[in-house]
Each structure stands twice: as structure tokens, then as C-alpha cells.
Amino acid sequence: MHTEGEAPRSATSTLESAPGGASPVRPRRGDVVASYDLGVEAYETRWSAVILPGATALLRELAVADGDTVLDVGAGTGAVAELIRDQVPGAAVLAVDASSQMLGVAHRQRGFPAVQADAMALPVAEGAADAVVLAYVLFHLADPSAAIREAARALRPGGCVGTVTWVSERNERAQDVWAEALADAGVPTLPARRVDTGLDSAPGVERLLADEGLVPVRSWIVTLRHQWDREAFWALATGSGVNRRRLAQIDPEARAALLVRSRALLDELAPEDFAWSGEVLCAVAAKPDDSVREVA
């Protein structure tokens, strides 16, 4: 299962080039935010916990300390911010996200200070943060380099940025059946909201970080697994923002028929057809501290 919409992949590991030399088409913020705004409940109740172990692994390496200021960029509903608060109650976490609806959960339900802003233009002063987290957001951006540049600007010397991006996903049979049902019913696809090119390998991400003056500390892969129960799968399939937007493109009668037909197909599947797995890349990089180098 993925809730990110179509995710074209290429064999290249740089952001600058794709096969044939063409630039990969990057997502547009409006498309991305429109889907998140519409799918908050499904994201928060069905998907967030599935991908959270990637951020858990990242935070272990990021070593946030009491008194630190942490920017959670692309914070969404604040699940990662909550992890930080649980582990380091003395840290101050600011949630930044472009989706007002996602951010509303982080602020109203989880109580985090929240700022609606673009990851590529952070509303904070230079050097204001001890750590910046970019969990599951770089692949949504028109220019991931700009977000890393902003994270580097926001960090104090010696501070660290941590990123989580997708390496691969093994779609469960149920996801294929659902996707085929939508295609058979002629449901139009949407523009890409997630493009992993250049972000799906350690060399690609390390280069991105190094190009913005950061020093890669560690990159590693974490495998995620989830066994869906039928109802949860259905709730996410029909409730994710991207699928709600897709389904809204066909008339109500056709939509109702599609839902009945696809549900019947899914009901025929075995439990193992609902087993999902994916791999994510965690990376940590530090902002050089020139004062330390001069003293040494």
C-alpha cells in the first residue's frame, strides 16, 4: 500500500538527470497539499503508524538532547514530533508543514507549536535549530536540494539534519487488485506527488546533503512490514487523500459500482495478499562547526 499516489521511478540516482538526459518531473506543491488536506484522517489512523519505525530509527541516531530546539519539517500530524517529545521531554519541537489540515492535528490534538510553511522556505532565523528532521517529505518537493539548503541554514554549527526517504515498496496483492479496479473503471490518475529519483539510495542522498555544505554522518536502510486487516486496508484505500481525489473524478453512479466491485474482489483475497513491506533510507548529516576546527 502506498498513499502517495503515482511514484515514477528511474534507474538514475541523481536529481539532475533521468534516462535519456530528461529531467524527472518533480511534484507540484499544490497537488501534494491538496491530497494531504483531504486525507488527514486516513493518514493519521491508518498509515502514520505503519511508517513511523523509519523515523524511530532516525531519531536514535540524531541524538536530540534536553534543551534542544528541533524543527520537524513536513511534520504532518505530528507523529514524529510526538516521538521526540516522548524520548526527550526537554526538547522544544516546532512542527512545520504546508498542509493546514495535517498541521491542525499536530497542533490541536498533539499540542505542538505549528507553522504552516514550505520546507523550501523555512520561517526561522539562521542557526536557530539544534536539529532538523525531514521524515518522508523530500520526495514530495519540487526541489529537494532547496529544502536541504534551508535545513542547513536553520541549523546551528554542529547541529544535525536527519532524513527518511523511500528506497522501495513491495505492493501487496490487494494493492494491485485495487489499482487494477480503478484503472478498469477508467479513473484518471493524478500528477505525481512522490518522486523518489535521487532520494532512494545512500550515494544520492549523501550527495544532496554534501552539496549543501553538510557532512554526511551515516546512512542506512530500514525495512518496514505491515499485515493489513481487510477493513483497515479498505479504509486507507478509499480514504487516502489521493484516492479520494481520484474517485471524485468519476460520476457518483460509476463510483458506487466501482466500490462494490473492488470490495468484492478484495473480499476474495487471502490474508497473505494483505502483507506489505517497504524499505526506507535514513540519513544523518552535520553542519560543520568551524569554531571547533579553529581551536583544534
Ligand X SMILES: C[S@@+](CC[C@H](N)C(=O)[O-])C[C@H]1O[C@@H](n2cnc3c(N)ncnc32)[C@H](O)[C@@H]1O
Q: Please give the residue ranges that form the binding site for ligand X (CB under 6 A).
A: 29, 32-33, 36, 48, 55, 74-76, 79-80, 97-99, 102, 118-119, 135-137, 140-141
**Rg of the chain over CA atoms, in angstroms?**
20
Closest CA to 149 of 167, 173, 132: 132
Name which of 76 and 239 has its Cβ closer to ligand X.
76
Residues sharing a CB contact under 8 Å with residue 275, sequence separation 6 or more, in sequence order: 172, 225, 226, 227, 228
Name which of 91 and 266 has its Cβ closer to ligand X.
91
Name which of 107 and 266 has its Cβ closer to ligand X.
107
Name which of 68 and 118 has its Cβ closer to ligand X.
118
Q: CB of residue 168 vs ligand X: minimum separation in angstroms? A: 16
Query: Residue 254: how many CA atoms within 13 Å on its side-chain side?
Result: 14
Q: How far apart are CA 35 and CA 241, in angstroms?
A: 4
Q: CB of residue 14 vs ligand X: minimum separation in angstroms? A: 21
Q: CB of residue 161 vs ligand X: minimum separation in angstroms? A: 14
Name which of 10 and 100 has its Cβ closer to ligand X.
100
Q: CB of residue 147 vs ligand X: minimum separation in angstroms? A: 8
Q: CB of residue 92 vs ligand X: minimum separation in angstroms? A: 17
With cell 545512500, the residue in question is 202
Handedness of CA 98, 100, 104, 105 (dihedral sign): negative
Name which of 110 and 156 has its Cβ closer to ligand X.
110
List of E strands, the chain: 69-73, 92-97, 114-116, 129-135, 155-170, 215-227, 275-286
Name which of 81 and 258 has its Cβ closer to ligand X.
81
Q: What is the DSSP string of 28-84?
A: -HHHHHHHHHH-HHHIIIIIHHHHHHHHHHHHHHH---TT-EEEEET-TTSHHHHHH
Q: How far apart are CA 86 and CA 33, in angstroms?
A: 28
Q: How far apart are CA 151 and CA 267, in angstroms?
A: 46
Q: CB of residue 97 vs ligand X: minimum separation in angstroms? A: 5
Name which of 44 and 181 has its Cβ closer to ligand X.
44
- Please give the residue whose beta carbon sits closest to ligand X in the complex: 76
Closest CA to 15 of 139, 188, 154, 187: 139
Contact 162, 131 (CB under 8 A): yes
Q: CB of residue 27 vs ligand X: minimum separation in angstroms? A: 8
Q: CB of residue 253 vs ligand X: minimum separation in angstroms? A: 32
